[in-house]
Structure formats: structure tokens, C-alpha cells
Amino acid sequence: MSDESGVLVLAGTPIGQAGDAPPRLAAELAGADVVAAEDTRRLKRLTTDLGIAISGRIVSYFEGNEAARTPMLVEALLAGQRVVLVTDAGMPSVSDPGYRLVAAAVEQGVRVTAVPGPSAVLTALAVSGMPVDRFCFEGFLPRKAGERARRLTALAEEERTLVFFEAPHRTEAALAAMAEAWGDDRAAAVCRELTKTHEEVRRGALRELVDWAAEGVRGEVTIVVTGAPGGPSIAGDPESLRAAVAEKEEQGMSRKEAIVEVARSAGVPKREVYNLVHGA
């Protein structure tokens, strides 16, 4: 048992390779009084990969029993125990069980800390090629078409890069709904099986990605979409587009990179910007 008592530890777990686990994760799992796991079978595989044994009590904590189990875990925290919460992959409470327990612990004055770990949100954002200076995470879109369309319409003017989780069998429908709401040419990236053996990042305009997804998508999926053009629109202003490319070249970008970045920011096809810059 740790000398530190009454602490809730949100432990990030690998989204793919066990070797990505931070060293502190093994220590926290081995020393916990209680480990609350979204899937106890996956926890067993993780501890085997890490070469550790859990001496504390293991309880399941998933969407179906989250409400019922939270008071029990808060009681353990108030009794001075160290509770470690792990989900199947990534950080607890980020589109995973955990928020309810964190809120209850905070309300009771219990200390909450975290073991930083891999995040599909940040990993997808980093490898997507989309702007990363400002972004927002929207989690999973609604399953029903009408609700999904309303959500996407509400985000039509969002200027920040958007990150979504999606089920593989709903990826085509989600991309098609995005194209309908935001236009076929909006740049996006579908990140599949990040850090795993069959990792794939497919980049392109939304319409291109819809056609790709129609062939079938497998594995864990994160979708990154560039935001709506911000400020005064330069989409229909050739001189502004040329000037924006020139400015980025002066900042050190190659012409190709500058054209791609300006096209994404303006929400226009790359070919249009290329033709303007090269006088085609």
C-alpha cells in the first residue's frame, strides 16, 4: 500500500503497443489498493505485458455499471485507499468511463491525479497534417442521422481543427455527413489503428475519404478535420490567396507546403491555389 492515502489516479494506458506505457503505470498498478478497470480481461493482458502482478482489489468499471460502482469507489477513497482507474486504451474520462468518478471525488475533496499516457486525440492530431495550433475534441458523433446532421451543422463555423472518434462501421456515414454539412473539399484525415501493426493515416478531401471508406474500414478510428476558414474569407480572392502563399514562403515554408497550408486555411482545393500561384 502507498503511504499516500485517499488518491484517485487516472492512469493512461497504451492505445496500441504495450511498450508505449509510461514506467509509472506499472508502479501504480502494482501498488494500488483498488484497480478499477473498464475491461478486466484487457487489464490482465496489460499486466502480463508489463510483467507485474496486482496485489490490490480489482473491480470492473464500465459504462453499464459506472453509476452503481462510483459510490463504492468514493467510499474506498474516503477510507484512505489509493484507487487507480484504467480504461481499455488512452486516458480515462476522455470518451471513456471516469468523468463521473472524478466529479464525485472532487466533490468529496479527494485528491485526483493522473499518470500521463498515450492519447488517440493528440496522436491523431499530430500525424494528421492538419493545423494544430488550435483544436477541439468532439468525441463520438450521434448515431442517428438526424442528430448527427444537426451536430455537424452547429459546427459549420468552427474555425479550430476538429477531432472525432468513430466506430469503423460508421466511418463512411460520418464522413459523408461531414461532406454534406461542410463541403466536399474540406481537408481531413482518417487515422486508423494508431501505433498498431496496421496503422494507417488516410488524408484527403472529405469526398475522397468517403469513397475510400466505402470499401470498408476496420480497427479503431479517429477523424481529424480542418476547421472553417476564419476571419475575412480569401476563398474567392485570387490576390489574397497568392499573397498568403508568398507570406508563408517568406516564413520558411516550401512553395508546396505553403500552397497546401493556404488551401486548407481558405477551404479551397489545392489545385485552385496551385493554378493561381503558377499562373495556370
For 30-54, the pLDDT digits (tens) are: 999 999 999 999 999 999 999 999 9
Q: Are residues 188 and 249 in the same domain?
A: no
Strand ranges inside the chain, DSSP E: 7-11, 34-37, 57-60, 82-86, 111-115, 135-140, 161-166, 187-192, 200-205, 221-225
Q: What is the rounded distance in angstroms from the CA atom of residue 185 to the CA atom of residue 23?
A: 43
Asked whether residue 99 is assigned to any structural domain, the reply reads yes
Q: What is the rounded distance in angstroms from the CA atom of residue 226 to the CA atom of residue 188?
A: 6
For 64-111, the pLDDT digits (tens) are: 999 999 999 999 999 999 999 999 999 998 888 999 999 999 999 999
Q: Are residues 74 and 160 in the same domain?
A: no
Q: Which pLDDT score, from 0 to 100, does residue 212 have?
A: 97
Please give the residue range of the domain that contains residue 148.
121-225
Q: Count, in order, helices (H) and strands (E) of the chain.
A: 11, 10
pTM, two decimals, is 0.74
User: How many domains does the chain contain in total?
Assistant: 3
What is the residue whose three cell numbers read 477523424?
223
For 202-214, the pLDDT digits (tens) are: 999 999 999 999 9
Q: Which pLDDT score, from 0 to 100, does residue 238 have?
A: 84
